[in-house]
Amino acid sequence: MPSLGADMDQGTVVEWLVRPGDTVHKGDIMAVVDTTKAAVEVECFTAGVVQELLVEPGRTVPVGTVLATLAPAESAAEPEPTAQAVPEPRPATQKPAARKPAAAGPQVRKLAAELGVDLATVRGSGKAGAITRADIQQAAERKSKPVPTSGRTKVSPYARRLADELGVDLATITPGGRDGAVHAADIRATAGRPETPRRPQPKRDRVEAMRATTAGLMARSKREIPHYYLTTSVDMFIALEWSHKRNRELPVPDRILPAALLLKATALAAKAVPGFNGHWIDDRFESASTVHLGIAVAMRGGGLAAPAILDASELDLTTLMARLRDLVKRARAGRLRRTEMTSATITVTNLGDLGVDTVHGVIYPPQVALVGFGKVLERPWAVDGLLGVRPIVTATLSADHRVTDGHSGARFLDVLSGRLREPETL
C-alpha cells in the first residue's frame, strides 16, 4: 500500500485492474485504492508479471502492506516473488477487512453510468460485497432484457432521475403501473411519505473524510511551520493583453486562461529562487530539482485536494493549460494518480474566481511554501506618472521561516511579478 500523501496511513483496495499472470510495465495502473481524499489509481513501479494479489478488494490495510507480488518479466515462468508491488519498508501488518457497503471502483462506477445501471440496485459479488464490472454488465443485461414479472423491477428513466433527485431508494418502491414498471408517479407518492428511507449518501462520507484529512494536515502545518507572509500587487495589463491577442487566433479549448500565466510564473520563480521548492523532512530542507506544482482544487459539494502538475516549470503555456484542465477534471471525478497526489513541491491556491482579493494560505506540509492569488481586479494605478485603470492581482507568498527569510521571499515575489510583466518569457 503506497503512501498517497503525507497524511495517509491506510488505504482500501477498491479494485484490482490486473490479474495473476498479467504482464505489467512500469507506469501501468494496477489497482484503484481509496483514500480519504479520492480513489487513486496506483501505478506499477517496475515491469514484471503479476504473481499474486495479496489484498482482496474491500480490505483496508496500513501503508507499507504488500499488495501484490511480481516476478521479473524475463523469468515469467518461474513463480518466484522477487519484487513487491510497493517499495515501502514497513512490515505487512494486516488489519481486519473494513467492510464497506457495496464498494465500487471508479471504473466500475463509470461503467455503471455508461450502461445506466443504478449502483444501489446492484448486489456486489466481489470480496466484501464489492461491486465488480461483471456485476454491472449482468445488471445491464438484465435491464435491457424485458423481464416482465419476476426479478428486477423496471424503472422508467424519468422515474430514476426523479428518485435520485428526491432521495428515494428505488428498491423500496412498489410499481404502480399496469406494466409492472416504476413510473414517476410512484416515486412522487413514495417521496411524499415521511417515513421513506433515504438512500445512504456515500458522497457525504467522502466530504466528511476529506474535511477530517484537511483538518489534520492544516492543524499540523500551523503547529509545526512558522509561516511568514509577503504580499505584492502585480499589474496584469501586459500579460492579459498578450494572452488576449494570442487567444484571438485560437479555438476556445486552446485559449490560455490567466490562471495558466499565474501558475507558470510561480513555477519559474520556484525554480529560480532557492528555498521554496522542496520538502521539510527530518528537521532539514530538501530542495527539489524539479517543480511539481500543487494546485488547490475545490471539490463540488465541499472538500479540497491539491494534486500536482508535474514538471510545471518546463511546460509551455498550452501544455500547462491542458494539464491543468485535465487535473482539475480528474480531481473532481476522484481519479488522481499516485504521483500527482504525493509529489507536489510547492502549491498554488487561486481563489480569484470566487472574488477574493487576497489569500494568506496555509502551507501543505512537508512543503515549505504556498502562493495565493486573488481576483484580477480593475484598480486605479499609477503608470509612468499618470493615473490609469489597470487589472491588478494580489500575489501572496506563505513561506516556512525555518527555510527562508523575508529577504528571499521578496526575491521570489519579484521574480514572479517580473515574469508576469514579460509574458513572452512564460
Partner 1 sequence: MTPDQARQLVRAELLRIVPDAAIDVIPADADLREELELDSLDFQSFVAQLSERTGHRIDEDDYGHLRTLAGCVEFLATRD
User: What residue ranges bind partner 1 (CB under 8 A)?
Assistant: 244, 247-248, 251-253, 255, 257-259, 298, 300, 324-325, 328, 353-355
* Closer residue to partner 1 (CB): 17 or 328: 328
Least distance CB 26 / partner 1 (angstroms): 31
Least distance CB 259 / partner 1 (angstroms): 6
* Closer residue to partner 1 (CB): 92 or 377: 377
Least distance CB 324 / partner 1 (angstroms): 7
* Closer residue to partner 1 (CB): 247 or 408: 247
* Closer residue to partner 1 (CB): 268 or 321: 321
* Closer residue to partner 1 (CB): 225 or 348: 348
Least distance CB 147 / partner 1 (angstroms): 29
Least distance CB 328 / partner 1 (angstroms): 6
* Closer residue to partner 1 (CB): 47 or 298: 298
What is the 3 state secondary structure string of the chain?
Answer: CCCCCCCCCEEEEEEECCCCCCEECCCCEEEEEECCCCEEEEECCCCEEEEEECCCCCCEEECCCCCEEEECCCCCCCCCCCEECCCCCCCCCCCCCCCCCCCECHHHHHHHHHHCCCHHHCCCCCHHHCECHHHHHHHHHHHHCCCCCCCCCCECHHHHHHHHHHCECHHHCCCCCCCCCECHHHHHHHHHCCCCCECCCHHHHHHHHHHHHHHHHHHHHHHHCCEEEEEEEEECHHHHHHHHHHHHCCCHHHCCCHHHHHHHHHHHHHHHCCCCCEEEECCEEEECCCCCEEECEECCCCCEECCEECCHHHCCHHHHHHHHHHHHHHHHCCEEEHHHHHCCCEEEEECHHHCCCCCCCCCCCCECEEEEECCCEEEEEEECCEEEEEEEEEEEEEEECCCCCHHHHHHHHHHHHHHHHCHHHC
